[in-house]
Structure 1
Amino acid sequence: MDKLISDQAEGLRRLLAKSGSRVIAVTGGTASVGCTTTVVNLAAALAQQGKDVLVIDECLGARSVGAALGGLRGAGNIAAVVRGEMHLDDAAARHALGFSVLTASRSDREGHSSAQLDVLLHGSADIVLIDAQLDPQGHLSPLAILAHDVMIVTRVAAQAITDAYACMKRLHYAHALAQFRVLVNHVLSVEDAHTAFANLAGVAGRYLAVALEDAGCIAADVRTARAQELSRCVVDAFPSTPAARDFRHLAAELQYWPMRPAMSSQTRWMAPATVTAAQHADQPSAQHA
């Protein structure tokens, strides 16, 4: 009987998870914490678990998803999708690992309304991962602000934690975000990750009244770097390693995160003057992290 109840509960969770595309924007305090690596490995792990995944790549150049995968052709033209001239599935490039990639440069993302950009997030994909590029002020793009969740990637190092706090502070004041998920990358132990998260959550709750949720951690693994050298991801190249297992665990867990309304439906953009005033009013900032 317990087995039957468990199977029924699992079936219900899966049914609820299919109620629409889950959109997650992934970013961090600095480029060195591994946001793009996280997006690529997470996409590969989700695809292995039978999910239809779309990666929207806002970061161009050497740190782009395409570069991490050794190059992708035809992963663009979001303007044609927004204008209704091309179907989303036709505009995105299909990678051999089973997920699709759509390049969204800053110029492609500008000049469109939220309703127009929303088309990019309501295709056939179960999960949309946005490798979010913050603007010079540290704010999300009009596309990334449509996500249901923002996941901040950080590391255990003190500077990385400080940078993550500063990133959340800017996003909080720019977009009135009150909640973030935190993934601690490149950790030597789960205990270190828990300590880093607890410290960050305490500071964010005290000085920003922002709630953090623990997205888990990814083990430090030399094969992650080796996979990058091979223009592959660790989930695909070295599936038995600790980092690959952690990415698969995260992929399985995030499918059952509570589905919140898109951030754009519960927040609004603050004027630059308002943002500046709010930031100056909150001086304890990152040094306490």
Structure 2
Amino acid sequence: MASFDFDQAEGLRRMLAGPKPRIVTFLSATPQDDKGAMLVNLGASLAQSGNDVMIVDACTRDYGVAQRLGVDRGPSLLQVARQECALNQVIHPVPQGFSVATMARMAPASADEARRLAKTFDVLVKQAGSIIMVDGEFSEFSDGGTFPVPIMASSEIVVQVSTSAASITNAYALIKRLSQHLGRRPFGILVTGATEAEAKVVYDNMSSAATRYLAVTLTSMGSVPADEYLHRAARLGRAVVDAFPLAGASVAFRRLAGRFARTGMQQGRAA
């Protein structure tokens, strides 16, 4: 009976805890501004479809989402870890419908501080919502480097790539480096600035090479076309799905948001 009561209590705790938040780390082999624009518009699209979304800016060198949206001047999660401020002081709701937090503007000063940052991020994840999108960067990795917090290594990882030869080469090199650090695991590929046909060619070529030479499985996360309305919306300080809902990019972001909300990358299929 005692065991039965314990099982019931544990089951109740799991039910009350709700679904486990989904963490997706985004890295990019495109110009700095491309990833920021993609994350803002994808975050807005997910929020419009009823998801509770937070974007964590984990960039220390590149132009991150927090800077793009003008919420980078407040405290960071590292300052929470140092007990210099409260967690709610680093969370910034933005007009696009989601929240933004900055992880750190510099690397932790010690291994102990890195552990405290990881614990702080874990607490944020539990409070943040259903989808946590992490704005990462290629320069986070060194020859022996890792992500700033361990949970990012076990999260879904999506690499943004364009149709240019340089971007494809850089994306493949990034995937190779990631697989060397993290072991054999799937990676998502998101092609931006491309038609569906162009994106399919990019994905098929990268997937074939990754399977053959790295023994790594790639998953197509979809594509977003080049669209002048993306730039117009950015100049207005708005997401394209809000400012120009009928634009081709808006249609693509809504489709992309639907795919992200429905299934995890590991269960996805090539598109």
Scaled by the length of structure 1, what TM-score is found? 0.74
Q: Which residue of 2 aligns with 1:249?
A: 255
Contact in 1 for aligned 2:26/2:157 (Cα 8 Å): yes
Any idea what the Cα deviations from partners look like across 1:7-49, whole Å, max 9, x if unmatched? xxxxxxxx9xx61110000111243472211111111111111
Q: Which residue of 2 aligns with 1:59?
A: 59
Q: Which residue of 2 aligns with 1:201?
A: 207
Q: Which residue of 1 aligns with 2:92?
A: 93
Partners of 2:131 and 2:86 in 1: CA distance:
17
Any idea what the Cα deviations from partners look like across 1:29-75, whole Å, max 9, x if unmatched? 24347221111111111111111111101235882213333x12665
Residue 107 in structure 1 maps to residue 114 in structure 2: no
Identify unmatched segments of 5+ residues in structure 2: 1-14, 267-271
Contact in 1 for aligned 2:141/2:147 (Cα 8 Å): no
Q: Which residue of 1 aligns with 2:163?
A: 156
Is the alpha carbon distance of 1:241 and 1:23 closer, same or farther for their aligned partners in structure 2, counting shifts above 3 Å?
same
What amino acid maps onto 1:26 in structure 2? Answer: F
Contact in 2 for aligned 1:74/1:92 (Cα 8 Å): no
What amino acid maps onto 1:97 in structure 2? Answer: Q
Is the alpha carbon distance of 1:87 and 1:52 closer, same or farther for their aligned partners in structure 2, counting shifts above 3 Å?
farther
Contact in 1 for aligned 2:56/2:100 (Cα 8 Å): yes
101, 121, 136: which one aligns with 2:125: 121
Any idea what the Cα deviations from partners look like across 1:211-255, whole Å, max 9, x if unmatched? 000100001101112222333332222221111111111111112
Q: Identity over aligned residues, as a percent?
A: 30
What amino acid maps onto 2:133 in structure 1? Answer: L
Any idea what the Cα deviations from partners look like across 1:147-166, whole Å, max 9, x if unmatched? 52000000112221111101
Partners of 2:119 and 2:95 in 1: CA distance:
31
Any idea what the Cα deviations from partners look like across 1:149-195, whole Å, max 9, x if unmatched? 000000112221111101111111122252100000011x2111111
Partners of 1:75 and 1:51 in 2: CA distance:
25
Partners of 1:77 and 1:172 in 2: CA distance:
29
Q: More displaced, 59-68 or 100-109?
A: 59-68
Contact in 2 for aligned 1:140/1:171 (Cα 8 Å): no
Partners of 1:32 and 1:203 in 2: CA distance:
25
Q: Let me know the Cα RMSD of the aligned residues.
A: 2.7
191, 208, 226: which one aligns with 1:184: 191
Partners of 2:172 and 2:67 in 1: CA distance:
28
- Helix, strand or coil at the partner of 1:181: strand
Partners of 1:198 and 1:166 in 2: CA distance:
16
Contact in 2 for aligned 1:68/1:228 (Cα 8 Å): no
Partners of 1:157 and 1:32 in 2: CA distance:
15
- Helix, strand or coil at the partner of 1:23: strand
Contact in 1 for aligned 2:153/2:182 (Cα 8 Å): no
Partners of 1:93 and 1:117 in 2: CA distance:
15
What amino acid maps onto 2:180 in structure 1? Answer: Y
